[in-house]
Amino acid sequence: MEDGVDIGLTNASAGTSLEPVPRGSSGPLPPLVERRGSLAGYDNRPVLPPTISLTSPRSTMALPPADSKVSADNKKKRAWWCWPTSEAEANRMVLIDDPVGNAPSKFRDNHISTSKYTWWNFFFKNLFEQFMRLANMYFIFISLLQQIPGVSPTGQWSTLGPLAAVMLVTMVKEAFEDVKRHRADVAENTRLTNVLREGKLSKVEWQQIRVGDIVRLSANEFIPADVVLLSSSEPMSIAYIETANLDGETNLKIRQALPATAEIADPSATGIRVTGTVESGPPNNKLYEFEGSIDIRRHKHPLGPQQLLLRGAQVRNTGWLYGLVLFTGRDTKYMQNSNKKTIKRTKVERISNIAVVILFVFELLLAGVCAGINAGWRNINGTKHWYLAFPESESGIGLLYPFLTFIILYNNLIPISLYVTLELAKFGQAYLINNDEKMYHKESNTYAVARTSNLNEELGQVEYIFSDKTGTLTENLMIFRKCSIAGKSYGGDDANLLGTPGIDVPISHKHFAFHDADLGNDMHEGSSRSLVIREFVSLLAVCHSVVPSRDENDPDNIMKIVYQSSSPDEEALVEASNHLGYVFVARTPTEVVVRNPEGVHEHYQLLNMIEFTSSRKRMSVVCRCPDGRIKVFVKGADTVIYERLGPDQPYADACQEHMRLFASEGLRTLCLAVAVISEEAYASWSRLWDEAALAVQGRDKKLEQVAELIETNLSLLGVTAIEDKLQQGVPETISTLMSAGIKVWVLTGDKQETAINIGYSCALLTESQNGIVLNEPSKEFAAQRLSGLLKAFVDSPPPRLPDVPTPDLALVIDGFTLAFALEPDLKADLLRLGTACKAVICCRVSPLQKAQVVSLVRDNLKSITLAVGDGANDVSMIQAAHVGIGISGVEGRQAAQASDYAIAQFSYLQRLLLIHGRWNYRRVSKLIAYCFYRNIVLYITQFWFTIFNGFSGQTLYERWTISMYNVIFTFFPIVAFGLIDQDIAEDVVFAFPQVYVDGIRQGQFNTRVILCWVANAVWHSFLIFMIPMYSSSFDVSDSRGFPMTLDHLGYTVFSCVIMVVTLKIALETRYWSSVNHVFTWVSLGSWFIFMVVYGTIWGWGPTFNVGKETYFVFADLFSSGTYWFVVILTTTCCLWRDVTWKYVERTFLPKPRHILQERQYIHKQKNVVHPFRAQSPVSTLCSTGPSLNARSSRPFHTGFAFSEEEIQLGGAFSTLDLSMKVKETSMQGTGFGARTEWLKRKASQLSRENTTSSELLQIDSIGSTITHHPLPAQQLPSSSSTVVPDDAEIPRAEPSIDNSEPSTGSDGSGSAGSDTSSRKAAELDVNHTS
């Protein structure tokens, strides 16, 4: 065979050419991208631009000039998140099996690297990234200032040492993670595969594969690059692949080679040499889109997704296949989708960054004030205090040197270890989430996955949840329940299965629960109705993309057929057709084989298949039926099917009524229709289809337009009704979340009736709500309706009646109206109306609209949003929210892979938010506040000391003592706190989810809370310095008679600092475990050990020339009773304020969490069995449980100052007591007195009855209703319904919940309590204060 022959497939041995199969003889023709430039001529060389010359005589690729405008424009248009391509290319043109001809294109090699660093750039790149943090830049600036002689009062290395330690920890962590990436890359790049080189198959490493190579892959082999399928061992050159590594879907996908290349059986054995040219678009990250063409023997054939095998997929059930390598390395779609996600910043992090800036400004001001006072003091006292011997050269220094000195002295007001402490704590929190056994789904063997640890505390502040329905709230396990055929409804309510007598079908009832004997009778009666029924069931068996998989050991046994489908709906419909007598037996790209009820195999020739898309909302198959007629089978949503029906549809009205009834039962409906096409009409349409398939631009749009031409004048056959059951625990979960103050919005593509029915089923909607339904035909009507609703319910709500509760609002809006409402001039009204509603359901919405709704709330409200979904259509919504949750569902793992956190079931969301989220929010809030606190305590003592040293900048502490303060002495207790502290046990939180509201309102971390911690730190620092300072006058000498020095005072003050800050975090700790004990007491003891070791190291010899000033200072202090007395006295005085405040707060100003902590402690001491343990963690009490609002107006003398050990709930909560002692609401208007009197009257009545849990008085989460449940002793309510006694007169008042922190005190998260034996009357006597 000579170079330069015609492009094609040539058999060198036989001397024959393989003619390509004519176009149009197979299934659907895939799309083709716009082609810039063309191949001219099919002689030895193509016509090329004059600026290009090729060296290879076999080259057939027309390359644009390197500086062409096409490349430049394309480069500008490339998305910033894509990996860079090998060149800024417009269309890629590849020569088949021609490495010399492809060399000028300089395509990327197939080597991949997912690592962040290399061995030679790790140190410098990591340092650069760490210095991108402003805090690190600040501390390196301080370290540089300390190198200036005569400026630093704390030595040259006191800041650089801790900074280096912190950065080293981060560097080691990064190196550990990157080493794992390098090892994975090496294993990937060195895999072997068969590549055709010089006519022979050779084992080649993946990284050595080149664009244009032909590879041979076998069953179960992973695909090394993006390759175009040329041929396979299966009939019609079909190949089966599994894409679990790409999209998480485990069902097999069908790929089919073009007929023009399908004859390549074994090039290495037959001598067939493949030549030609492939043209495609540039690399991109769209997994399901591909457009290209292949030129074989002067014929151009379109290439589409059906011919593309992606890197990372695995060959299944296919003996062998040949493919052409098209994209390699970072140009593959797999690597294009391996980009980093946008880093999301939390609200807590933003507030802490502001606090850092404020502290820095405060430090500058403090340093400036001290420098100014120092200059004044020297001017006044320079001559008077001549013995200080101020250098004359300093007289002209001015303020610069003193200012720099004080900057260094106060530099650690900004905590140097804040970020590394926060990272370690969040890393541990993520580990706990990943290993939570209570979020483990046994059926799918799936744990929860924290794909990021940056958002742990955000989970505790979520106010809006946006949820998909199918697969998220439901199981996505479709069950065929009912149908309507020829105007008659079929299907009963029992679960007996209907099969056709005498017909064997695959034994699978997973998707089929249908019973109606009339359908079998009507099918066989021979009437016109029976013909429609047969057509209906035939459509179910033919119009789909399901792949049958036969048992390899018994391929002829249809009872062992297993169906593979990417859609549970299609699998349910195919299974229904099997049970109804039409068994789907086999399929090829050109044919579907169905066995009818008589046992005859019917062959349907597939002429064209028009796939389902979210915009089309339907799927069509053009096929030649066994009787020779050409028919169009269509199934889709009623909105698109009904508008394409022909005139005189006898079943349209009946089917529409049946659809309404089916939807009211929560069933998913699908319309089925058919049209018969003449041979002439199909021939004309087929030509248009082929032309559209070969279009060089706008081909997808043209294909849709051509499809519209054949999907007309349809005849309606009937409707299917499929049930998608709710996941276990969904109603309880939504009820719990709503009780926690979280608003739930459901965004679904289902019909309005179905969505409403599901809303009731999952407890999102209730009968007591005022329902608002928006179905407007135009923007004008939508604007008028929104305006009217806002005036009626938001701006001027109806007056409240004293004895009638005002119902909540629920909004249901369809996608058509939503499109109008999301326009710029109406979206503000939509937002106001939506936020005024307790529940919102958006139905018939597209994936884009889901993201728009989430963005509307996120961008315009100061609320944390969370989006949860399970499918690829939910990815945009998940990425738009502050926190994205992916469900590992039936539709694959696309959503889980794009999410921040992944869970297996929607019900796990309540644990993720109420337990992990709430705990982590409190942990992170306290951690950040404490880090500021402990540094202010230490360094403000330096300020108090400057008052006594003439503002000279003299440091009170030894330099290495300061350096180890953040990284050793006080580091570990706060890390343990940030990892495992729990203020309230999880079963208590589930019983009273209203405590979550504190996080929604940022009650644990806000500007006021930080200021309280700062004020407390300043007060503690004042006491810590002043008490030792003035007590030193009582002990002017040590045990040997030597006078006390500055080092003695510094060590005494530092000892007080260590004691106070360590016991402060101990006071804040609620959950004492062995880890807390070890970290706390060992850290405290480490300071005294350091005093001994460092105080003796100078005496070890001249090699250890450090610690001279503090040599044996510890011996003087330890032997002095004054030292120990001062340390104990100072610690007691400092923490006395904290303990006192905790007592006062819990006694007179209790918050919900304080009351729950107290009751938890009391019942633990009594060893009372907790009634919630006998039930599900989510009690029905959650939906109507007692209100946990702001404060009680009466003093409850039951506070306890210090926290208890291991918190395990052991006591039964008296919901009556809890309800009575918590302030329910802030009363306003005329209803205040009447409502209070009613409460007193009812409480008094209950106390006189002397019941033992036989009466349960509950106040709901907003104080709007009171429910009175007569119960047996020690039994919880079994229903969440509201029951009001007939004689009850319940005044209505405006709710107002106050969960904010008190205006004084540093925190208020500890616990307080005392004897409660005399509190019954106080608990039952309810007073409300506004």
Closest CA to 966 of 1083, 812, 1094: 1083
Count of helix runs (H) and strand runs (E) in the chain: 42, 37
**Using an 8 Å Cβ cutoff, are 1255 and 1270 in contact?**
yes
Which tokens is 821 given?
A: 């409402």
Residue 1132's H or E segment, with its range, is: helix 1121-1148
| Eight-state DSSP code of residue 791 | I
3-class DSSP state of 835: helix
AA identity, residue 487: G
Residue 1086's H or E segment, with its range, is: helix 1074-1096
- The distance between the two most distant Cα atoms of the chain, rounded to a whole number of Å, is 124
Query: What is d(CA 1308, CA 1301) in angstroms, rounded to the nearest whole number?
Result: 8
Query: What is d(CA 87, CA 68) in angstroms, rounded to the nearest whole number?
Result: 12
Number of neighbours of residue 965 by Cβ within 10 angstroms: 26
| Eight-state DSSP code of residue 459 | G
Query: What is d(CA 1305, CA 1154) in angstroms, rounded to the nearest whole number?
Result: 15
User: Regarding beta strands 901-903 and 883-887, do their DSSP bridges make them parallel or antiparallel, or are they unpaired?
Assistant: parallel
In sequence order, the 6+-apart residues with CB closer than 8 A to the CB of 1188 are: 992, 994, 995, 997, 1152, 1155, 1156, 1218, 1222, 1261
Query: What is d(CA 166, CA 1075) in angstroms, rounded to the nearest whole number?
Result: 22
Query: What is d(CA 1040, CA 993) in angstroms, rounded to the nearest whole number?
Result: 63
3-class DSSP state of 913: helix
CA torsion, ordered 206, 209, 214, 215, to nearest 10 deg: -10
**Using an 8 Å Cβ cutoff, are 722 and 482 in contact?**
no
User: Regarding beta strands 839-843 and 809-814, do their DSSP bridges make them parallel or antiparallel, or are they unpaired?
Assistant: parallel
In sequence order, the 6+-apart residues with CB closer than 8 A to the CB of 336 are: 82, 83, 283, 284, 285, 330
- ∠ CA 460-463-464, rounded to 5°: 125
Closest CA to 670 of 810, 855, 482: 482
In sequence order, the 6+-apart residues with CB closer than 8 A to the CB of 1015 are: 1306
**Using an 8 Å Cβ cutoff, are 338 and 185 in contact?**
no
AA identity, residue 350: R
Helices (H), 1170-1327: 1181-1184, 1215-1221, 1231-1249, 1320-1324
Residue 562's H or E segment, with its range, is: strand 562-564
In sequence order, the 6+-apart residues with CB closer than 8 A to the CB of 141 are: none
3-class DSSP state of 610: strand
Which tokens is 1175 given?
A: 């039930």
Which tokens is 857 given?
A: 């709330």
Number of neighbours of residue 7 by Cβ within 10 angstroms: 22
- Work out whether the CA dihedral 1136, 1137, 1142, 1144 comes out positive or negative: positive
Exactly one of 226, 468, 522, 870 is catalytic; name it: 468
AA identity, residue 1080: T
Is 724 assigned a catalytic role? no
3-class DSSP state of 297: coil
In sequence order, the 6+-apart residues with CB closer than 8 A to the CB of 1180 are: 732, 1276, 1277, 1278, 1279, 1280
Query: What is d(CA 348, CA 927) in angstroms, rounded to the nearest whole number?
Result: 11
Known catalytic residues are: 468
